[in-house]
Amino acid sequence: MSINKGVGLKIVILGSLGVGKTSLLNRYVNNRFTQEYRTTLGASILPKEIRVDNTLVKLQIWDTGGQERFKSLVPSFSKGSDGCVLVFDVTDRDSLYALEGWREEILLQIPLEYKDYPFVALGNKVDLTERQVTSDEAEAWCSSHNIPYFEVSAKEDINVDHAFENIARNALLQDSKWKDSYLMNSISLGDNRTSVRNNCC
């Protein structure tokens, strides 16, 4: 079996403060969970390598580090990203409503021709009983935007790997489509150049 060099993808994780973004990353990357509430300042970038079918995918997952309070920082944070994980807390209805704003902010940073920018939405803390958001409600918002939805728990390690694999797979798919179209454009540009050169010399 041939081993390729791998593909590097930048994934950003967004959602309101306290929904569990850092905890989900800590679960996914380090397989740990801590109850302690910490908001460190400055973005942190967590690396994780996974295999998607035959491709080694080197994820760099960007966590806001508490800066989600300042929406103005989202543009520089999300620049050049290949996909976005949107997180809300199933025990906090407002955090679901906030996803609309996060989604719009991200899309403002994406080139217009990049129509299928991949998102995944995670409803976190499903281990808690005091839910404010039903699965149906979350599904309705996600399907209206064509976004895959997963119910997860960083604490109990429910569905976390599965959700990140979904965004990695979709980001990889979009990345190769993007590269293919770039390659096609370069080939046709190359053809034009050849014909110009043939004409003039």
Residues in the chain: 201
Q: Least distance (Å) from ligand GDP to the CB of residue 46? A: 12
Q: Work out how close the CB of 135 gets to ligand GDP at its nearest, in angstroms, rounded to a whole number.
A: 16
Interface size with ligand GDP, residues (CB under 6 A): 17
Select the residue interacting with Mg ion from 22, 81, 166, 170 (CB under 5 A).
Answer: 22
Q: Quick one: which H or E segment has residue 102?
A: helix 99-108
Q: How far apart are CA 30 and CA 41, in angstroms?
A: 20
Question: Is 155 a binder of ligand GDP (CB under 6 A)?
Answer: yes
Closest CA to 87 of 162, 149, 171, 161: 149
35 binds, among ligand GDP, Mg ion, none (CB under 5 to 8 A by kind): ligand GDP
Contacting residue, 10, 21, 103, 169, with ligand GDP by CB under 6 A:
21
DSSP sequence for 139-174: HHHHHHTT--EEE-BTTTTBSHHHHHHHHHHHHHHH
* Site residues for ligand GDP per CB under 6 A: 15, 17-23, 35, 37, 124-125, 127-128, 153-155
